[in-house]
Amino acid sequence: MQNLSEANVTEAVIRSLAGCPDHRLRELMVGLVRHLHAFVREVEPTPEEWSAGIRFLTEAGQRCDDRRQELILFSDVLGATILVDAVNNRKPSGATESSILGPFYMEGAPERCLGADLASRPGPRVTVSGRVRDTEGQPIAGAVLDIWETAPTGLYHMQDPSAPRFELCGRLRADGEGRFTFRTLLPVSYSIPTDGPVGRLLELLGRHPFRPAHVHFIVSAPGHAPVVTELYTEGDPYLDSDAVFGVKSSLLVRYLEDGREEDGTPRYRLEHDFVLERARQAAGAAPIGVAPPAGG
């Protein structure tokens, strides 16, 4: 009979995992048990505090559906998502750095032709153009760019019942020289959802819920590791305090004024290249919450 106590329960749980036939699963669970038990020993939560944590996770799970992923949001605000991304996407010099996928990516965005406007609503437009190339500078013909961003309201299309499905989203295929171009709205800073358990937690912690203005991309091509990334607006006030810790200096971009539309709305332009590493150099781990996008 086991005589379990604070001193030996951790090793008893780990011994119970010895028969797991999946080596990697056993390794993950042993690490989880060790760190979870160490957390309990360090902070000594009361039963009421532990129950509150279980209720938090339960409510977060209940808020998840095909339009919202509260548990990914929880991972994001703890910095866990960007850490998982970092250890799985160590890039060679010159390759485009990755950033977080976020909880509002939706697969199935429509194919758009080069030069398409991703927005159906008025607002300051930006023309984004550039090339997709490899780390040796060679163009990658037919590379696919999966693009999404929020509207000026700070909402993604699946958050806004009045927005057309896949508003400000699209999949583009670069031409034979790796070139791409499209139009979209100038991105804005916005708040992550605060009407759920994660938002309440941020308030209790004295943290703000804002993200700096950005546009999301998944760039992929056969024979190359895909990159999940974001382009952040230079000078945004939330660059140094992004609620989900996704900003990297190499991903900052500057939008240049490029005249005005016929209605007087300012127009901008951005030129930016994406650089993919070859698949033989890195496997290109899938981002949390989505399978690797097909390049073909």
* Residue 168 backbone class (left: φ over 0; alpha: ψ -120 to 50; beta: rest): left
Confirm if 63 and 196 have CB atoms less than 8 A apart: yes
d(Cα 294, Cα 224) in Å, to the nearest integer?
11
Burial 214-235 (b: 16+ CB within 10 A, else e): bbbbbbbbeebbbbbbbbbbee
pLDDT for residue 80 = 97
The span from the CA of 117 to the CA of 142, in Å, is 19
- Where are the domains positioned within the chain? 9-62, 70-276
- For the four alpha carbons of 154, 158, 162 and 166, in that order, the dihedral sign comes to positive
DSSP string, 132-179: EEETTS-B-TT-EEEEE---TTS--GGG-TTSPTTTTEEEEE--TTSE
Cα 217 to Cα 28, 55, 179, 230, distances in angstroms? 30, 34, 15, 6
Would you say 172 and 114 are in contact if contact means Cβ atoms under 8 Å apart?
A: yes
- Give dist(CA 178, CA 190) in Å, integer: 32
From 3.40.50.300, 3.40.50.360, 2.60.130.10, 3.40.1350.10, which CATH number describes the 70-276 domain?
2.60.130.10
Rounded to an integer, the average pLDDT of 253-278 is 93
pLDDT class for 292, splitting at 50, 70, 90?
very low
Q: How many residues does the chain have?
A: 296
Higher pLDDT, 283 or 228: 228
Output the average pLDDT for the chain. 93
pLDDT at 296 (0 to 100): 33
Cα 219 from Cα 227, distance rounded (Å): 5
pTM (predicted TM-score): 0.88
Q: What percent of the chain has pLDDT over 70?
A: 94
Per-residue pLDDT at 286 exceeds 70: no
List the end-to-end C-alpha distance of the chain, in Å, as a whole number: 59
Asked if 50 and 57 touch (Cβ cutoff 8 Å), the reply is: no
Residue 42 has pLDDT above 50, yes or no: yes
Query: Phi first, then psi: what are they for 99, rounded to 5°?
Result: -145, -175
pLDDT value at 129 more than 50: yes
Q: Do 146 and 109 meet the contact criterion of CB atoms below 8 Å apart? A: yes
The per-residue pLDDT for 295 is: 33
- One-letter amino acid identity for 170? G
96-115 as b/e: b if 16+ CB within 10 A: bbbbbbbbbbeeebeebeee
Task: Check pLDDT > 90 for residue 74.
Answer: yes
Measure CA 201 to chain center: 20
